[in-house]
Amino acid sequence: MDTLEEFVIRTASKFDLEQLGLLFTDDSTKRFGDKQDLSLNQLFIEYQSHRFVVHLAGSPQTLLAYAEFCIYPNIPVLSNDLWPQWLKCRFCVDVPLTLMNTMFFNFCIYSQRHTDILKELIMELFYCEHKINYLIVARPPSYSFQAYAQMEDFGRVYYPSSFDMFDCKNLPTIIVISRERFMPIIVFRKALPEDNDDVIDMIDVEEPHMRHEHGDYFIAEILLGTSGSNMDDDKIIVTEDDRSVADGSTGMMWLSTATDIEELIRNFDLESLGNLVTCTPDVPHGTVQFEVFTAEQREYFNLRPKLAFLPEERVTIRTPADGPGSKAAESQGIDLLYTNFKYIRDELHNRSNYLDKVAKTLNIAFDIPGHYHKKRKYSLQDASKAFGLKNFILHPSLRLEYTYYYLCAMFSAYPDCDYCVVSVSPGTKYSVSLWALLQFFIRVQNRPSCNVSDDVFIAHRSSIYTELSVYRFVKEDLDDIYNLLLTDNKSRTESGARSTYRHLYVKMKKSSQMKIVKQISSDVIHNKLSEFSFWVIRCGHTSRDNTTTVGFAILRPFSDYEAVYKQFVLPHDDGNLTFERGEIVMLCLHPYFHMWSDELLRAVAIRSGFREIFYLQEIKGDALSNDLAPKMMPVEPRRMRRNWFIDTQAQECYRRISDQVDLSQINCVTDEFYLLRHNLMPSKYIGNKNAVVIVGFSDVCKAFLRLMIFNWNTPDYKYVSVNNCLPLLDITVIADHGEVEAEYDLNVHCRYCTEKKDCYMCNANSCPFVMDTTQRLDMRNYINFISGSVEIINRQEKYLGLDSHCKIYYDKLLLLCDTKHGLPESYEHVLQNQDLPYNYAQINGRLDKIELYHKLTEFNKADLPNNVIIVYGSNLATYEGINFLLTHGCPASKIVSVQPHRMVHSQFENNPTSDNNLEIILLNMITDLGITVYESFRLETFCYYPSSNFIEKVHFKRFPSNQDVYLYCNLFINYMENFLPMRIARMLRLSKITVEDSRILVDEKYTTNDEFIYAAGNHVSFVWEVFYQHIYTNEREMAQKLLDILDLGMEKQFRENKFGKPCVFHARLPLNHMIIKITAPKRYLLGNLPNEYSHIISTYDGDFCRVRMNPKLFVEEIVCVTRKLERPLFFLEYFCGRHVTLLNNLQHRWKMGMIKSFITYFEEPWTEYIMHDRFDEMQVKNYEALKSMHQHMISKFNTVRDSDFRDAIKHFLEANLLQFLRKYRDEFVNKFALPEDWTT
């Protein structure tokens, strides 16, 4: 939203229809354009590139104007992309109009009382569209002179070639408005000492520290040369703008040619940017050589087997004594087993396992001027084509779109330079001006040997000045297309097996893409009815022969919306776009031109006849390239609901195949893929302004990041209906080495499991909202992840010190580092040097599972006679771990289950991770399987082998006798519940963050004793007692509370301290059982009976299902145990926390014997309305209405009986539900019968 003088101009949406109705019926308005008889309900159905409404700053409800702009005219008989030919044939136009530089002003209605509105609207369009140089108004043959009189003042009228004043004057005409003649002039000049005060005032707005550091007159001192600074290589440029409300200078940019490109080349990967020099064919060249390092992410994160160990890498547990050979062999076997254990731990928790540091020799050639002196050595620095931007600031009264004009002026100041370099120091708070400017820059990747801490951004001259053109593909373009495909800007010089593998992988991927392109190009050339639209993107606008190919795009119709709609958060298909959706098959574009993604995608889509485009990026396999995928809106995934799908292998669930092209088959229901979308609206970056740093990668962290990425998603889709929303987040997550990589590792292969989805390593215990952040969304594309361990929090300077000596600065710090299992802080004495033993395991994430899998594999291969695995714990996760051992090659005879002593006490909180009744059954089950079980044992300490960090035996105490028991083990797996790791607790205490009883103390806004540091999760405790449950809560609800507290949400939501959303736990259990347990947190703990007094009902039909209700008949718990492992049960989450009356009188129906299976009952068609996206919204409205109704009745009748109130509200609630069903009836799979259906 931008304020221009007294007007506010913003994008129009369907939510403005009521105000637009008043504007369209106002008699004091003027209008032009063909929209006289159009119904307002149809107003937003037809495509327009921009729709603007205008109102006064103080009166947002009174609209003064509505305008439509589009890249083609509203002429029904004219194809969207043929209007240039129409103009060329019919009119004598002397300006270079193209599809990419021209837009049409199709319609406008405005108040006659505000004559400046038209001018402001045109300026708004030019500010939003930097590539648009001409605006055309198509005037019909019969028009009102008054309607177009003002437009004639702004532009130039062009008449048809056949126009004759006397014989042929009733013809259409056009008015062409030129940006160059219309827009106000901005004056750029060198700064003078007298500009000091204006510049300092501008700097104070966004960088007040500069005045404190350098004084009130440092700009003048620099210009006068009294500061001691050398300005020979620098330029300070200021601007003047007559339209600005500011007096004097309105902007400043400090430029310099003192850019050390050798240092940049050594520390940053600049090969794809030409290394900031030019190398022209057939001219003299100089050559320089650099030895640098590059970082290669490994293709497989699976552990690399090591067949032989160096002597210093081997572990020696005991020296073989003189005796039988079997003893010596057994000792050597244990040594080898523990050597492998150590190797597994060190490799998986070592950064080098995930990134290869590869040496490379750079040979850089650069042009040497023909006239240079031969005795003078011409260096790489002399050949530099780069200049730097030291500082940039805009006056607050100027629009941020001005940054584009400033960038153009920067290159004009250095006509011989092609690159602009911006270096940003760590900890620097990005000013709004700089943030807007950097959207035109490319962020360069630093090398692993980088000794420069700055972030570096680079812009190229051609990306700013070059005009782009889009042409239909012809056969002669094939060579250019092949060259683009085969060009690898990120090629590396490597050696060894890693080089061979990468070379083969890249070659195979290029070969498969080349095959697809050949098939499509052949189909397009020989088949006039081909479904594919093939476009070639060229640099320049003169002609095809005089332009250079910089990219291509291949599209086809998209007819799978119905299937993906049920798997992703998308608006319901209302029908008007059914045949106007396209799919990007492949898109390749030079990185210099990615900033013009909106213009290019809009051009190729509209010319192909599409109004919305999608891209299905396969997670597995080799996805076809789409270089503009980062510029498309990611679509939020959602889990399928039980009654949406019957046969998920049906043909309609698959992406439509092509008869001519071997496109990969994608099941839109069951396959994992990323979905991206562009609605051809202007892109808008959405994110946080201040730096947020997160320690940990817990479930709450994942939910928080997901909410931030999809911050624009609302039930009414009001943001995505007017913009192509893109996440731009200043969020850094610090996680342990390998933790994030393991979560997104697609190449984990289990030798024991036939189906990846059934494997312990690929399953999590969390709710679908959290699981999808790693299984169906790659947050690494939007969030900055850093691997390392935090050693200290410097609260004064607001930075975190990592073990790598790196400093991470923050504005807000979130401690989202809670864990599930581990050793509590009271067990710190059992560790040697505060390090976990190598034959110890605890499961908190996928990395821990992968590590355990590799250790179990080595354990099974060792085949030693007395090998033992101890599993310590008694919760549901413990039995999932035992099931993992049993199904992955470990015999029951080698497993020992040690059950800690459990205190029997009343349970007031709802805990989904534990279930006393089921755990007794599970204990008997594993006993019957042959597993040795010890009950009521308390862990005391570990007994280590001499001079090694390996557990030899574990010391327990038996309850109640306090008998000491020592059990030998080769691997100890700990499932003790622990929320705050010892390492984190030590670091927090060192940083003076209050920790008590292994919990971080926070207030009800989750703020620690430092106002800039927050903590949330199971590892927090409140500074004062609260009387509601705050652990074992819904991760999404907790994350949403954080979002509201930090004021990071797009929508202001009512926030209460209590929790109400259900928490989910699911796991695989022994003997092919699966459990899902869903609990709703207690909203009131004081004065409530413990859980054993709840009302419990259950069913069993092969599947066991239990429902527990509180005294007020709200469902607090749903538990289901089944052997049908493929059966999706996450939909049960919708019914936990609901009242039994809302669940169709659940309790009464069960008592009457009408419910044989709760699962089948909750799959019935009537449950679909409870699972609707906007059902909770209706419930909130009902609650507010009933609350006000009850207050009204109390004020009128003093007392109201419950029965009277129920009778009064019954018809009200029924009417609201019927209205809800009518409004969203088309979105339901099951068609509910409404009263009107029975009328004749």
Structure tokens at 918: 């089921």
- Give dist(CA 253, CA 406) in Å, integer: 8
**Comparing 792 with 1201, which gets the higher pLDDT?**
792
Residue 585's φ and ψ, nearest 5 degrees, are: -85, -45
pLDDT at 288 over 70: yes
Give the model's pLDDT for residue 249: 82
SS3 340: helix
Whether residue 773 contacts residue 779, with contact meaning beta carbons closer than 8 Å, is answered with yes
Q: β-pairing, 971-974 with 869-872?
A: parallel
Cβ atoms within 10 Å of 1218's Cβ, excluding its own: 14
Which range has the worst mean pLDDT, 655-664, 722-731, 733-742?
Answer: 655-664
Closest CA to 765 of 822, 705, 670, 698: 698
960 preceded by a cis bond (ω within 30 of 0): yes
Among the ranges given (121-135, 286-300, 425-439, 787-801), the one the predictor scored with the smallest mean pLDDT = 286-300
Q: What is the pLDDT of residues 865-883, one digit of tens each?
A: 889 999 999 999 999 999 9
Over 50: is that where the pLDDT of 555 sits? yes
Q: What percentage of the chain reaches a pLDDT higher than 90?
A: 51
- pLDDT exceeds cutoff 70 at 1075: yes
pLDDT tens for residues 42-51?
888 888 999 9
Give yes or no for a contact between 249 and 240, defined as CB atoms under 8 angstroms apart. Answer: yes
Residues 739 and 974: their CA atoms lie apart, in Å, by: 19
Predicted confidence (pLDDT) at residue 493 exceeds the cutoff of 60: no
* Reported confidence tier of residue 172, pLDDT bands at 50, 70, 90: confident
The predicted structure's pLDDT at residue 298:
65
Give the model confidence (pLDDT) of 1128-1166 as tens digits: 899 999 999 999 999 999 999 999 999 999 999 999 989
Tens of pLDDT, residues 773-792: 999 999 999 999 999 999 99
The yes-or-no verdict on residue 914 having pLDDT over 50 is yes
Could you tell me which residues are beta bridge partners of residue 1122?
1074
Q: How would residue 320 be classed by pLDDT, with cut points 50, 70 and 90?
A: very low
Note the pTM of the prediction, 2 decimals.
Answer: 0.93
Residue 1240: per-residue pLDDT: 54
Q: Mean pLDDT over residues 528-545, rounded?
A: 89
Q: Which residue has the higher pLDDT, 716 or 304?
A: 716
- Of 311-325, 523-537, 676-690, 1035-1049, least confident by mean pLDDT is 311-325
Q: Does the structure show a pLDDT above 60 at 335? A: yes
Q: Is the pLDDT of residue 178 over 50?
A: yes
pLDDT digit string, tens, across residues 421-479:
999 887 777 788 888 899 899 999 888 877 888 889 999 999 998 889 999 999 999 99
- Torsion over CA: 311, 316, 321, 326 (sign): negative
Max CA distance (Å), the chain:
123
Q: Are strands 442-443 and 251-256 parallel, antiparallel or unpaired?
A: unpaired
Reference 733, options 803, 805, 800, 687; nearest CA is 800
Is the pLDDT reported for residue 322 higher than 50?
no
DSSP 145-168: HHHHHHHHHHSEEE-BTT-BTTTB
- Band the pLDDT of 166: cuts 50, 70, 90: low
When pLDDT is averaged across residues 985-1011 and rounded to a whole number, the result is 95
- In the chain the domains, ranked by start, together with CATH numbers, are 2-182 (3.40.630.30), 186-263+378-461 (3.40.630.30), 466-569+583-624+632-680 (3.40.630), 682-749+767-819+990-1049 (3.50.50.60), 1172-1240 (no CATH)
Q: State how far the Cα of 798 lies from the Cα of 374, in Å rounded to an integer.
A: 54
- 3 pLDDT tier (thresholds 50, 70, 90): very low
DSSP letter string over 251-305?
A: EEEEEES---HHHHHHHB--GGGGGGS---TTS-EEEEEEEEEEEEE-S--SPPP
| Strands 102-111 and 63-70, bridge-based pairing | antiparallel
Q: What is the mean pLDDT of the chain?
A: 87
**Total residue count of the chain as it appears in this document:** 1240
8 Å CB contact between 522 and 486: no
Residues 6+ apart with CB under 8 A from 905: none
